[in-house]
Amino acid sequence: MYSDILVHRTLKCVGSCGLSSSLDDEVGFPADIKLESTNDCMPDEDKDFKVCVVCGEKASGFYFGALVCLPCKSFYIRCTKDGEPTLLVSVTGIVISPNKGRIRCQYCRLSTLPHGGMCRRNFSEEDLWKTRDIIVGEKSCQINPRNRNNCRYCRYQKCISAGMSREAIKMGRPKSQMEILHNSPLHIHHHFVIVVVRSCLPGITYLRPYFTTAITCQ
Amino acid sequence: MYSDILVHRTLKCVGSCGLSSSLDDEVGFPADIKLESTNDCMPDEDKDFKVCVVCGEKASGFYFGALVCLPCKSFYIRCTKDGEPTLLVSVTGIVISPNKGRIRCQYCRLSTLPHGGMCRRNFSEEDLWKTRDIIVGEKSCQINPRNRNNCRYCRYQKCISAGMSREAIKMGRPKSQMEILHNSPLHIHHHFVIVVVRSCLPGITYLRPYFTTAITCQ
DNA sequence: CAATCAGGTCACTAGGTCAT
DNA sequence: ATGACCTAGTGACCTGATTG
């Protein structure tokens, strides 16, 4: 039994946006949990805007355990259809999935082209695999709705870090708690939700969606 | 800054699975997180909570003659709405209900693919029925709350073997529910994971998959 | 009444198809 | 490979029936 119930959390602001002052409502914790919110910077007009935690487009629902848009949902399905992929970035800037897929990664291409000097027209599958060890690239693309198709590697990594998982499937009509969360606005730049849980309410079950992206302790 | 790092969690074992020894490995927490596995942190009244004999989730009552959860009750109603279904597992791993429904069974798919050698693109309804006798697959999926939707065939078989039946309907107020509950068969392998987080390691990011089912605080 | 269940409803999602 | 669109399965919630 805990006499004091504290759930600390912080929304880490990436970029120039602001966080709102009403985090409690945003993340949708039960009303009977006392919260200490430290944030003050989200624009009012974005408060009701639910965004995909992968690319920032308007979100459509909880797919594979994360609040994402339909394109990113489809992307995740494709990526994990035959098991977890091991996407590689070639010297030519081509991201290779082992079986078939390839797509250009503009970011990684820029950073890796000098090493190989190959041009896209001439690359062959064989060459890609030969140069396998020097092709790691930056692996740090910023994903947004416009460039999300530029780098499959980083987009997929973002799916993973957002908590998407075949294990996290939640089917059917959501519980009322989830409906609250479903209406929670998350600004496009607020991809990292840092939650510090000191102690929680006895007997309350905190479903995973409350921890929108990850749980980080300070 | 937390000096003491405690991640309490409880795996409630009902039946013969006996999860006690290798809790850490099963849930997959990082090795550098200090864990205390205990059975003490659960309220007494919940220690004996009854689980669904089909999937292992917390049971809601006696539906169609068996102690099951509400999702499995709904599942059984759907399956038997138009008479007993004959769910089949094709060589392609598609579970077919006679009329229309199909859902992929990842487990059976893996085990049956070698037998048929068909590729998913080419299968036809006719082929499915032709290969009826060689498509039985393993039919032995372990059903738990997380994977219960992966294989309709095995979920339904578990309903049957649990004694669910349209003949077993009992309406109205039960005589002594507690007595019935305590006499119910509970010899199933289930993987209901309850994690109690008191405080976490500074700087460590706990991705959602670690919290396999839910986070329950006491 | 009070407790419990059968069954319906419908807000949801997984996964497939197909034009691009 | 992508993403709009579609279908069918799922499960939370509700209602009415049943029985002690």
Biggest CA-to-CA distance, chain B: 65
CA distance A176 to A218: 30
pLDDT computed for residue A161 by the predictor: 86
Cβ of A165 and B211 within 8 Å? no
* Chain A positions in Cβ-Cβ contact with residue B2 (cut-off 8 Å): 217
pTM for this structure? 0.56
What is the per-residue pLDDT across A90-136, written as a single tens digit (0 to 9) for each? Answer: 434 444 444 333 444 433 443 333 333 333 333 343 433 333 433 34
Distance CA B193, CA B9 (A): 8
CA of B62 to C1' of C4 (A): 9
> A214 and B198 in contact by Cβ < 8 A?
no
**Residue B185 is encoded by which pair of tokens?**
């068969």
3-state secondary structure of A197: strand
* pLDDT for res A193: 29
pLDDT at B144: 84
Measured distance CA(A128)–CA(A107) in Å, rounded? 18
Output the pLDDT for position B22: 29
Rg (CA), chain B: 21
Under the banding of pLDDT at 50, 70 and 90, the label for residue A156 is: confident
User: What confidence tens digit (pLDDT) does each residue in A63-82 have?
Assistant: 998 999 999 999 998 888 76
Mean pLDDT for chain A overall: 52
For residue A199, give the nearest of B43, B198, B209 by CB distance.
Answer: B198
**Phi–psi pair at B74, nearest 5 degrees:** -60, -40
Q: Check residue A75 and give its pLDDT.
A: 92
CB atoms within 10 A of CB A22: 13
Q: Do B208 and A204 touch (CB under 8 A)?
A: no
pLDDT (mean) for B178-195: 35
> Alpha-carbon distance B161 to A107, whole Å?
56
pLDDT of residue B2: 22
B15-53 pLDDT, tens per residue? 222 222 223 333 333 333 333 222 233 334 444 567 888
Q: Are strands B61-63 and B36-37 parallel, antiparallel or unpaired?
A: unpaired
* Interface probe, candidates A76, A164, A217, A218, chain B, greatest B C-beta count within 10 A: A217
Structure confidence at residue A39 (pLDDT)? 27
Q: How long is the CA B82 to C1' D19 vector, in angstroms? A: 27
**Residues A217, B199: C-beta atoms closer than 8 Å:** yes
Contacts of B83 (CB under 8 A, 6+ apart): none
Average pLDDT over residues A206-217: 30
Burial class (CB in 10 A: 0-12, 13-18, 19+), B124: exposed
pLDDT for B74 equals 93
Residue A186 pLDDT:
35
Q: Is the pLDDT of residue B176 over 50?
A: yes
Instruction: Indicate the residue of B200, B212, B215 with minimum beta-carbon distance to A206.
Output: B215
Please determine, for residue B165, whether its predicted confidence score (pLDDT) is greater than 50. yes
Reported as half-sphere exposure (CB side, CA atoms, 13 A), residue B74 has a value of: 7
Residue A107 near residue A88, CB atoms below 8 Å = no
Angle between helices A70-79 and A152-161 (to 10 degrees): 100
Q: Distance (Å, rounded) from C-alpha A206 to C-alpha A97?
A: 36
pLDDT for residue A82: 61
**Contact of B192 with B145, CB cutoff 8 Å:** yes
- DSSP structure class, residue B168: G
Query: Do residues B23 and B9 lie in contact, with contact meaning Cβ atoms separated by under 8 Å?
Result: yes
Which residue has tokens 């308007």?
A58
Of residues B188 and A154, more confidently modeled:
A154
CA B31 to chain CA centroid, Å, is 27
How far apart are the CA of B212 and the nearest CA of chain A, in angstroms?
Answer: 8
Would the Cβ of A64 be found within 7 angstroms of any atom in strand C?
yes
Chain A 112-151 residues whose Cβ is under 7 Å from strand D = 148-149
> Which of chain A's residues have a Cβ under 8 Å away from the Cβ of B215?
200, 205-208, 211
B45, B150, B217: best mutation site toward chain A, by most A Cβ within 10 Å?
B217
What tens digit of pLDDT does each residue of B98-136 get?
Answer: 333 344 443 343 333 333 333 333 333 343 333 343 334
User: Regarding predicted confidence, which is higher, B75 or B185?
Assistant: B75
Q: b/e per residue, B20-56, with b = 16+ CB within 10 A?
A: eeebeeebebeeeeebebeeebbeeeeeeebbbbbbb
- Residue with more model confidence, B168 or B208: B168
Report which of residues B12 and A156 the model is more confident about: A156
CA of B149 to C1' of C19 (A): 31
